[in-house]
Structure 1
Amino acid sequence: MSAPATHEGPQVLFRKARVTRHDEKVFLAKLVLAAALTAVAGYLALQPHPVTAVLGMLLLGAMYTHMVELQHQCLHHSAFRSPRAHRLAGVPLGLPLLVSYSHYRVRHLQHHRYLGTPQDSEFFGFDTRAPLRWKLLLRGLLDYPRVALVLKDVARSFSGRWSYDMGQIAERRRREIMAEYRLLGVLVASLAAVCLAGHPDLVLRLWLLPLLVAVPLHFLVELPEHILCETETTDVLRNTRSIRGSALSTWFTNGNNLHVEHHAAMVVPINRLRERHAEAEHFAVHVEHSYAAFFRTVAATARRNGKQAKARKEREDHR
């Protein structure tokens, strides 16, 4: 993280702020809205009319993605005034996408600490330092093999053999992570039991098919954070991207579009990041007006890198 501002730099971008009663109410309102939309989506997904059912499953997938972004705020303890409340809310928010809150939190806080260094490693394993190619994007977009990795962690947790592979963590934290993976295992087993009881359609419509939507959608939400930014500097004004976005995209991503602002002061409640965006626009290197502009840049870069790689291969073949 770059140094706090002088009179010539940002004045509020790096300023810390505690969670207030109002911030807590805002986050609780987000939870209520997410629960309501998920209930509506589930109802629609179970309807006999195909178009209605598909719309419901698409909305469910979108809400499962949105829940992980709400979970992200809980990771930083910037949603509630009570630290304990964050895990109570964060664990269920990650269940549909099979995300362990405590495991995600440990890895994600390390990401904040080591961003711009070789030690950086995000929980969701897309490597933003690799050359941007269509193949790499497709692999990240269709990261369904992550489910197999989760199931492996579930098995290791039930046997007590789970261990953290990115450094040292407290034994208490390890026990919390194993407990959450066991919970995920119970959830998966329960879904399998529902199928065996003769109701596979419920699992298909309410989880499996929405999951197929949620995985790539989550990837698209997370992709802008650091891709095509400077990867060998710890200055958040150069290694992170913000997108102004609309009110809808800011709500859906839970402020993930304001990522420079978030990395500059990660404990600031998400709902208060917008007031810092003017400084991010002025001082940060990578700021986009919209997601559409960002994805156009990504597509152009992947296309150019693909052509260059093809040209290099042709030159090598002619030698």
Structure 2
Amino acid sequence: MSVRATPVDIDHLNPQRLIPVERLKQLNTRSNRAGLLQLAGHLAVMGVSGGLWLTQMGSHSWIALPALVVYGASLATMFAALHECVHRTAFASPRLNDAVAWWAGLLSFYNSTFYRRYHKWHHRYTQIPGKDPELEDAKPQNGRDYLLELSGIPWWIGKVKGYFRLASGQLQGYPYIPESARVEVIRSVRWQLAVYSLGILLSILSGYPGFVLGWLLPLAVGQPILRFILLAEHTGCSQDEDPLTNTRTTLTLWPIRFLMWNMPYHAEHHLYPSIPFHALAKAHEYLQPYLAHLEPGYLRVHQRVVGHFLA
């Protein structure tokens, strides 16, 4: 669905050796400082936009709706912080990675303890039918499926069902969760549901729908934005083991790269998952000529996706 930006013969390349060894060592350097600055910036966007939304929503101010959109997007894209942390590349400290991953998952309605195992298999079996767990959620095959996917409705349904299955100890159908990790996953999911339950209880007792207005509604607004971004990562790419062809990089605006922790450099990430988010742009300089799917923006990707339905 997309074409190589620069024609390079990749048939005999070893994708993992495209970056010189010494340079790769430099790019692999993890940094607490870089991670904390990124996290602080993300939380600042969330705090300012959320504050504007909650204080202006009843005043008919023109700023309320844009603030809601930005706040919702910043909540949903905490998924990107979780993603980076489950790779343990956001920070040099493993404990900091794990702590931030859990709280980022709480904000974005993901569970980091489960997702770490799920995502490990996604990287191991990227785009391999029957093995990659991401392919269990079918890609849109027509316009109706496409709009439904962007709405986030299937995601919400899947999340609610998945949480209650995990919380009740029903781990059948999750081959990526080893026996040794089952207790940890179940406990983590139960704690997360307990925090949500506490938020609901406090909203009821206070008479103010803070749980809905401060989290549920904004996240529902932000989810279509996240779906729009994530749909571009592998849709229309090859279903094989070649990381140069089974994943797409999308060149996009800085605000999106910022809130997504540089995840739009997605082919680079799959080629070298050990490279931290803050070094992916530098890795792109080496890898760009070899990428089969490189697009100048998300609108271009979605034009191709929709064009495929209409063809």
Fold shared, TM-score > 0.5 on shorter chain: yes
Match of 1:142 in 2: 151
SS of equivalent to 2:113 = helix
1:44-69 Cα distance to aligned partner (Å, 9 max, x none): 12223233332332222111122111
Match of 1:202 in 2: 210
1:49 to 40, 59, 66: 59
Aligned pairs for 1:14-163 (under 5 A) are 15=24, 20=29, 23-47=31-55, 48-50=58-60, 51-122=62-133, 126-128=137-139, 132-159=141-168, 161-163=169-171
CA contact (8 A) 2:76 2:219 kept: no
CA contact (8 A) 1:164 1:174 kept: no
Q: Which sections of structure 2, spanning at least 5 residues, go unmatched?
A: 1-11
Greater Cα shift, 278-287 or 106-115: 278-287
Match of 1:273 in 2: 280
Task: After TM superposition, give the deviation of residue 278 of structure 1 in Å.
Answer: 3.1
Higher relative contact order (CA 8 A, sep 6+): 2
Q: TM-score w.r.t. structure 1 length?
A: 0.82
Q: TM-score w.r.t. structure 2 length?
A: 0.84
Q: Give the residue type in structure 2 aligned to 1:290.
A: G
CA contact (8 A) 1:60 1:206 kept: no
Distance 1:117-1:206 versus aligned 2 partners, 3 A rule: same
Distance 1:186-1:78 versus aligned 2 partners, 3 A rule: same
Aligned pairs for 1:295-314 (under 5 A) are 295-304=302-311
Task: After TM superposition, give the deviation of residue 217 of structure 1 in Å.
Answer: 1.5
CA distance in 2 between counterparts of 1:156 and 1:123 reads: 18
Q: Give the residue type in structure 1 aligned to 2:188.
A: E
Q: Give the residue type in structure 2 aligned to 1:118.
A: P
Give the aligned length. Answer: 296
CA contact (8 A) 1:41 1:60 kept: yes
1:213 to 192, 206, 221: 221
CA contact (8 A) 1:142 1:215 kept: yes
Distance 1:126-1:253 versus aligned 2 partners, 3 A rule: farther
**CA RMSD in angstroms, aligned pairs only:** 2.7
Q: Which sections of structure 1, spanning at least 5 residues, go unmatched?
A: 305-319
Task: After TM superposition, give the deviation of residue 254 of structure 1 in Å.
Answer: 1.4
Greater Cα shift, 239-248 or 89-98: 239-248
Q: Give the residue type in structure 2 aligned to 1:300.
A: G
- Determine which structure has more spread, i.e. the larger CA radius of gyration: 1
CA distance in 2 between counterparts of 1:255 and 1:164 reads: 34
Task: After TM superposition, give the deviation of residue 133 of structure 1 in Å.
Answer: 1.5
Match of 2:14 in 1: 4
Task: After TM superposition, give the deviation of residue 103 of structure 1 in Å.
Answer: 0.9
Match of 1:293 in 2: 300
Distance 1:260-1:144 versus aligned 2 partners, 3 A rule: same
Task: After TM superposition, give the deviation of residue 152 of structure 1 in Å.
Answer: 4.1
CA contact (8 A) 1:46 1:202 kept: no
